[in-house]
């Protein structure tokens, strides 16, 4: 960049030069990971910087970024998660699955069992048969029916808070839904609360599994998978009497499955204790060379 008097100015994004990162995916929900022991939060978490990193054309490309750091004595690891628009989020299910795998890889915790701390509470997790598995906080504020008008093909609309709020819509065929057209309206619907909610459409598959698609707040578009969305979807399907098995299998838009195991709980305002299991895979490792803040545009 050049200033008014012709002098060369340093781009805000030049502060990223030389930072190591890991790109991970959880069923197509992708993230850029940083080791908080070596990269400070202040260096990578301004909204402008996050948008630049997550830009899929001029940056690394991701649905969000994650910084992991030790959290002793309360937990093994602290997760800092930010959406691609730069906003912080209390919880992201797939980012937590990936965080479980990455924490073990970094030696921050043992893969047989660890405790992660998030703004949504403490999460116990582990690696089972090569896949990360996380125990989420009890699902709260379950509403089987929402005061939202149904569109053609939609059969029922419910709501649940699975770390973050979710609208869940039972429909005839999730693959035929206009997610980008319908999603923004429901994401900000007044019935979802002042901060809005993620929106999930779900329909049955012939094999007894379920197909879903998600419009995510903070990304403000459809993502290939949403871990907390899969949990909220499994909870509503169970509340509606449509899913009786203790494990509900949800097919993501990446073609991979997320498995949600539900047990009942007596906690106030909560009906289910969920365990989520799915992919947490390293795609590549790298070092940032040149990402400028104006790359977000």
Residue ranges per domain, the chain?
Answer: 12-131+282-296, 139-264
Q: Is 3.10.310.10 the CATH number for 139-264?
A: yes
Hey, which residues does 5 pair with through a beta bridge? none
The reply to whether 139-264 shares the fold of 12-131+282-296 is yes
What tens digit of pLDDT does each residue of 270-289 get?
Answer: 578 999 999 999 999 999 99
Give the integer Cα–Cα distance in Å for 255 and 35.
Answer: 29
Instruction: At 66, list the tokens.
Output: 């994650």
The CATH superfamily label for domain 12-131+282-296 reads Diaminopimelate Epimerase; Chain A, domain 1 (3.10.310.10)
Averaged pLDDT for residues 211-219: 96
pLDDT at 4: 43
Give the integer Cα–Cα distance in Å for 196 and 213.
Answer: 17
Confidence category of residue 48, pLDDT binned at 50, 70, 90: very high
pLDDT at 246: 87
Active site residues: 92, 226
Give the integer Cα–Cα distance in Å for 97 and 65.
Answer: 14
pLDDT at 244: 80
Confidence category of residue 195, pLDDT binned at 50, 70, 90: confident
Among 137, 135, 134, smallest CA distance to 97 is for: 134
Q: Taking 70 as the threshold, does the pLDDT of residue 5 lie above it? A: no
- Element (H or E) spanning 229, and its range? helix 227-239
pLDDT at 282: 98
Averaged pLDDT for residues 1-14: 44
Confidence category of residue 6, pLDDT binned at 50, 70, 90: very low
Q: Taking 50 as the threshold, does the pLDDT of residue 1 lie above it? A: no
What tens digit of pLDDT does each residue of 99-121 get?
Answer: 999 999 999 999 999 999 999 99
């Amino acid at each position: 960049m050049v200033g008014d008097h012709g002098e060369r100015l340093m781009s805000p994004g030049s502060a990223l030069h030389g930072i190591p990162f890991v790109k991970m995916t959880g069923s197509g929900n992708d993230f850029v990971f940083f080791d908080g022991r070596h990269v400070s939060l202040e260096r990578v978490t301004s909204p402008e910087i996050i948008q630049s990193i997550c830009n899929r054309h001029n940056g690394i490309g991701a649905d969000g970024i994650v910084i992991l750091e030790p959290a002793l004595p309360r937990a093994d690891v602290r997760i800092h998660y930010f959406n691609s628009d730069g906003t912080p989020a209390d919880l992201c299910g797939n980012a937590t699955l990936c965080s479980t795998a990455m924490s073990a890889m970094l030696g921050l915790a043992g893969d047989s069992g660890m405790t992660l701390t998030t703004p949504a509470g403490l999460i116990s997790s582990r690696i089972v048969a090569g896949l990360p598995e996380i125990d989420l906080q009890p699902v709260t504020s379950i509403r089987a029916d929402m005061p939202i008008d149904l569109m053609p093909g939609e059969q029922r609309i419910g709501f649940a808070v699975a770390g973050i709020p979710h609208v869940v819509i039972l429909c005839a065929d999730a693959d035929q839904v206009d997610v980008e057209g319908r999603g923004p309206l429901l994401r900000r619907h007044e019935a979802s609360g002042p901060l809005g909610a993620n929106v999930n459409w779900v329909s049955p598959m012939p094999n007894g599994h379920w197909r879903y698609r998600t419009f995510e707040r903070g990304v403000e578009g459809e993502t290939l998978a949403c871990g907390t969305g899969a949990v909220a979807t499994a909870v509503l399907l169970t509340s509606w009497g449509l899913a009786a098995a203790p494990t509900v299998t949800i097919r993501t838009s990446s073609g991979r499955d997320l498995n949600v195991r539900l047990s009942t709980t007596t906690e106030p305002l909560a009906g289910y204790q969920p365990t989520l299991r799915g992919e947490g895979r390293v795609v590549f490792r790298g070092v940032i060379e040149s990402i400028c803040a104006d790359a977000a545009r």
